[in-house]
Amino acid sequence: MSANLKKFDEMRLAMINSQLRPNSVDEPRLLLALDAVKREDFVPEGRRATAYADAMIPLGEGRFINSPLVTARLIAALNLRAGERVLIAGDHSGYAAAVVNQLAEAVPADHASGGNYDALLIDGAVAEIPAALVKQLRDGARVAAGMLDGRVTRLAQGIKRADAVRLVAFGDADIAILTDTVPVPVFSF
């Protein structure tokens, strides 16, 4: 094993033990999934040394990969089971989908077909869940997303009932705002 690979393995373990576990991300299947996915493969070459830092990493063109803790907490909120189909939006790097694929079947929103998804993961903050995504969920589907609350971003979860999803915040977080999905709020007098 090369020194770089060993270094990344050590950083991944440190992420799990010092960032995730102390923040109640402790479900064994999820921790195994997070350990199996090499986050350094999902960030730009020049940012690989910070792949496991507790911070968003710019990907270019105004896009980001969220911190490992944010993505892990959103995935944990879905309580995924094997065999479930999970619609994924806002995952600009592919990292969240790779982790979800260790637990269930991830389908990027731009490749979605057939609807009837069991869960929706939006790996970023939105003002509201886009109706086009809600339509693709089965009734009772679980949703986890970042939520814009004024100028603050929060982690939130909800369940689809009829044709709507009401999100309930479960924690504040610095999460990427999906400007390509929703307009960024602007302060005005």
pTM (2 decimals)? 0.92
Query: Does residue 179 fall inside a structural domain?
Result: no
- Residue 51 is part of which domain span? 3-172
- Whole-angstrom Cα distance, residue 116 to residue 102? 20
pLDDT value, residue 114: 82
Q: pLDDT-derived band of residue 180, with 50, 70 and 90 as boundaries?
A: low
Compute φ and ψ for 179, nearest 5 degrees.
-65, -20
Query: Does residue 184 fall inside a structural domain?
Result: no
Query: Does residue 73 fall inside a structural domain?
Result: yes
Mean pLDDT, the chain, whole residue set: 92
Q: What is the CATH number of the domain that holds 159?
A: 3.40.50.150
- Whole-angstrom Cα distance, residue 137 to residue 114? 10
Query: Does residue 183 fall inside a structural domain?
Result: no
Query: Does residue 182 fall inside a structural domain?
Result: no
Q: pLDDT-derived band of residue 189, with 50, 70 and 90 as boundaries?
A: very low
Query: Does residue 160 fall inside a structural domain?
Result: yes
pLDDT value, residue 181: 54
Number of domains comprising the chain: 1
Q: Which of 23, 58, 62, 28 is nearest to 43 (CA)?
A: 58
Query: Does residue 180 fall inside a structural domain?
Result: no
Is 66 within 8 Å of 75 (Cβ atoms)?
A: no
Q: pLDDT-derived band of residue 139, with 50, 70 and 90 as boundaries?
A: very high
What confidence tens digit (pLDDT) does each residue in 3-59 have? 677 899 999 999 999 999 999 999 999 999 999 999 999 999 999 999 999 999 999
Q: pLDDT-derived band of residue 112, with 50, 70 and 90 as boundaries?
A: confident
Query: Does residue 50 fall inside a structural domain?
Result: yes
